[in-house]
Each structure stands twice: as C-alpha cells, then as structure tokens.
A and B are shown apart, each in its own frame.
Chain A
Amino acid sequence: MRNVRIINGIPATKSRYGSHYGERVIEIGGEKYREWIPWRSKLSALILKGHEIEFRGDERVLYLGASTGTTLSHLADVIDEGVIYAVEYSAKPFIKLLELAKERENVIPLLYDASKPWLYSGIVEKVDFIYQDVAQRNQVGILKANADFFLKNDGSFLLMVKAKSIDSTAEPKEVFDAVVEKISRDFSILETGSLEPYHKDHIFILGVKI
C-alpha cells in the first residue's frame, strides 16, 4: 500500500506527523514512520496478512465509525493528498478524533449517526472509497445507505465485520456467511478474509459498487 512499509515485521506509515495514540515513531533514511500496530487496527492486520488494497493518494474517502482516529490517522498518511470524511456518533471518542482533525488538513470530522446519511448529505461529496468499521447489528444497512448517497459507480468499500456485534450467540461462521450473502445482493464482492489472530471473530469484506 502507498506510504506503507513493514518495519521489523510490523506495518508503518510514512508520516509528517507525530504519534497519535502512543504508537512509536521510527526514523529511516530521514523519513518518519508511525508504527501501525495490527492489534490496534483492523486495516493494519489486513495488510500484515498479505492482502493488498491500492491507493493513488488523492482519493475521496468516507470513513464510518472513526472512533478516536487510530486507523484513520494511518489512512490519512496513506491518502495524504486526498480528503477523508470521518463519521463517528459517540461524543467521547470524538474528542480525541477532533485533535487529529485539527492537526491533519485532509480529515473532516463529522459527529453524526452513520445510519442517517441524509443528515450529512449536503456536506459529504461523492467518494471513491468507503471504509466502514461500526461494529453494529445493522451494518449492512448502514453500508448500503451510505453507498446510495455517496459512493461513485465503480467506487469500492472495505467493511470490517465483528460477529459478536451482529449476533452474540450464533456461530461466527454463520454470521459471516449471512453478511456476505446480504452484501452480494447489492455489491460485487472482490475479496473476504479473516483478521485472526489480531482480531478475534472478525472478517473483512472488500467490494465494489456495480
């Protein structure tokens, strides 16, 4: 991935900025890299497990479920010439997210409920990519609604699915199969994979809008 390299077995992003959540900053050949710990970030786990997602660096991205901005901070390093609209509905983690937004010119912080995209429909532009990590029961509905509002045709999405948040008693495998089936009704799925051992009972789904 652009601006990413594996240092001592752990991904890191080339960054002009300092540490955001306590991660180490490593200097190599005059460049600064922020260590991207796979246990802290599902996207880092995905990279470490050998999956590839290509970015040009100037994409328009909609990030749903940004929390305190851990993964977002790295994605902002990757898409350093683009714009990321970061949606999070909980006020507490948003405080930390705001710190990041004040530092990074390419992050637009939005305190909204991602299941109500109409509320920010006049703010967010058409995007190339949706990153969604909301750990919610209705996450497929959230993806669909946001894709309808904002995702360009041919635009892609990456969805992080946590089995327990959809059904805490069912077998994870069954939950994942059901989610994949539901998503494939509206999107075309490119790849799915597990995020074990870094994130227990989590999978990712990469797809495009057709």
Chain B
Amino acid sequence: MPYKLWFGVFEDELKLAEKFEDSFVNAVNEKPIPFNVAELGIKVLGREYYRTLRRVAIGVAEKRIREELSSDERYIISLVKALESVEEIINVLKEKEEDLEANAIGEKFLEAIENMKELRDEIEREIDVVMAKIAPNLYEVAGAKLGAKLIEKFGGIKKLAFASSNKIQIIGAERSLYKAIARMKRGKDAKIPKHGIIFLHGFVRNLPKKKRGKMARFLASKISIAAKIDYFRGELDEGLFESVKRRFEELRREK
C-alpha cells in the first residue's frame, strides 16, 4: 500500500515529490501510517527537514486562507436562503395537505412534509457547524440560526460588523417600521417595532412583552460587538455571552 507523505510517496521505496506544495495537500491516508513520517523524512531531507516542512505549510496555508474566508461566508448565506425556502415549502405543503386530507393523496403530502422536515433539520445542523467555525462569537451570543440569518440579511460578516446596533435590533421588521413612520407622518398614533428577527432569540422571546424591547436593544448591542470580534479577530470572547445571560436574568427578575 502506498503511503502518501508531504514530501513524496512511499511504497517499498520513496519517490520524492517534485513539488512539495502538491504532495503536502495530497498527504491523505485512510489509516495511520505505521512508521514515523519525520524519521523517514530526515533520512531524505536531512537537517532541512523541519525548515522545509514549515515553509511549505506556511505557503499552502496562506493560499488556502484567502479562499476559505470568502467561500465559507458564501456558503452560510446560501444555506440560510435554502433554509428559508424549505421552510416556505413546508408551510405550503401543510396548507395543501389540509385541503386534501380526506383523500388518499393526502398521505403523499404527509410523506413529502416529513422529507422536507428532514432536509430542514439537516440544513440547520450544517449551519450550526459552519457558524461555530466562522463566527464563534455570533454563534454564542446570537445562536447559530439567528447569527446566520443576520449575516445573510446584511450581506456578510463585515457589513454586519459595521452596522449600527439599532439596525440590527429591528432588521426583519422594516415593513412595520415604514408603516409606522407613514402613519406618524399623517399625524396618527403608531407603534415603532422594537425587534425584528432578533425576536427569534430565546432571551427576547421568553420575556414578558413589555421587557422585550429592553432585551432586544441590549442583545443587538452585544451582537454588534460579537460581529466585530468575529470580523477582526475571529477568536471567542467568553465574557460576551455571560453578560447577555446576566442581563436576561436581571430583566426576568425585575418587577
């Protein structure tokens, strides 16, 4: 069995690669290699072994980073769009199923709904995995699904990071906002919406109505910070979620 190593392929004897960058990315083996890669490598490359390995690793990573940064983000946006379509399809199918319930074909609709629900769950799991990787702070503070929806609505992590927290708080409720503004212009009473899709967050939803606005505002400001850290550093700040949780508990206890 040939063993694929970063500096070549070993089968009875070693065939040194022409370009280490190529052999490096192809150094995939289904099973553990039964000998020590570095021992063999040092026999071939001598004292330069680690220096060469490090140079190749850095070169390959530099190229891959640029590709990954943009492709991961495009991927999450596509996933969110797919999720929304599938949710819509489920709703339509449910309506039709109710119309046709009494007929034999109603069964077929139930089956289709079940399939779509499986697909929806699969997409949600994928969103979870990708969000944890590309936006660990949004993942903790907003949750995978809401975080991904915000990225999609704003058109990327960068735009979300530079958006005002007011906008984050009400995005998704633009329609009622415009309606309210129009009413006010006509001199009528109107309620300005206090939250858009941020309402999806358990900490907003699970508070009594009159406290939700406060929570939504606080959460939006923390989401804004989370997006900034994810955009600039990409490293998890453990304190961020704790502060959101504390605020939630405060509001819940407040009379």
Chain A nearest Cβ from B11, distance in angstroms: 13
A96-B233 contact, Cβ under 8 Å, with A111-B64, A120-B27: yes
Which of B5, B28, B234 sits near A119, CB closer than 8 Å?
B28
Q: Complex Cα distance A174/B138, Å?
A: 26
CB of B65 within 8 A of CB of A118, answer no
For A135, the chain B residues whose CB sits under 8 A away are: 236
The interface on chain A, measured as residues whose beta carbon lies within 8 A of the other chain's beta carbons, has a size of 38
For A95, the chain B residues whose CB sits under 8 A away are: 65, 234
> Is B152 engaged at the interface, CB distance under 8 Å to the other chain?
no
Interface centre among B68, B230, B235 (most CB of A within 10 A): B235
Q: Complex Cα distance A118/B27, Å?
A: 8
A92-B64 contact, Cβ under 8 Å, with A105-B54, A120-B27, A121-B32: no
For A120, the chain B residues whose CB sits under 8 A away are: 27
CB of A123 within 8 A of CB of B57, answer yes
> Is A38 engaged at the interface, CB distance under 8 Å to the other chain?
no
Q: Complex Cα distance A136/B132, Å?
A: 9
> Is A49 engaged at the interface, CB distance under 8 Å to the other chain?
no
For B22-37 the 0/1 string (1 means CB < 8 A from A) is 0110111111110011
Which of A91, A107, A124, A150 sits near B65, CB closer than 8 Å?
A91
Interface of B is mostly: helix
Chain B nearest Cβ from A41, distance in angstroms: 12
Q: Complex Cα distance A122/B69, Å?
A: 25
CB of A90 within 8 A of CB of B136, answer yes
Q: Which residue of A is nearest B6, CB measured?
A: A123
Q: Complex Cα distance A90/B234, Å?
A: 8
Interface centre among A90, A93, A109, A200 (most CB of B within 10 A): A90
For A68, the chain B residues whose CB sits under 8 A away are: 233-235
> Is B72 engaged at the interface, CB distance under 8 Å to the other chain?
yes
> Is A89 engaged at the interface, CB distance under 8 Å to the other chain?
yes
Chain B nearest Cβ from A117, distance in angstroms: 8
Within A80-135, the residues touching B (CB, 8 Å) are 83, 89-96, 98, 101-102, 105-111, 118-126, 135
For A91, the chain B residues whose CB sits under 8 A away are: 64-65, 68-69, 72, 134, 234
Q: Complex Cα distance A185/B50, Å?
A: 35
For A108, the chain B residues whose CB sits under 8 A away are: 50, 53-54, 57
CB of A118 within 8 A of CB of B61, answer no
Chain B nearest Cβ from A5, distance in angstroms: 27
A92-B233 contact, Cβ under 8 Å, with A107-B54, A122-B37, A125-B36: yes
A122-B68 contact, Cβ under 8 Å, with A102-B58, A110-B61: no
Q: Complex Cα distance A104/B28, Å?
A: 26
Which of A90, A101, A149 sits near B58, CB closer than 8 Å?
A101
> Is B62 engaged at the interface, CB distance under 8 Å to the other chain?
yes
A122-B3 contact, Cβ under 8 Å, with A92-B69, A111-B68: yes
Q: Complex Cα distance A106/B49, Å?
A: 12
Which of B30, B37, B61, B133 sits near A124, CB closer than 8 Å?
B37
Q: Which residues of B contact A (CB under 8 A)?
A: 3-6, 23-24, 26-33, 36-39, 50-51, 53-54, 57-58, 60-62, 64-65, 68-69, 72, 132-134, 136, 230-231, 233-236, 238, 242
Not counting A98-B58, A118-B30, A199-B238, a sample of 11 additional A-B residue pairs whose C-beta atoms are within 8 angstroms of each other reads: A95-B65, A107-B54, A108-B53, A108-B54, A110-B61, A111-B60, A118-B31, A122-B26, A122-B37, A126-B37, A200-B242
* CB-CB nearest 5 A-B residue pairs: A92-B234, A122-B27, A125-B38, A91-B68, A121-B29
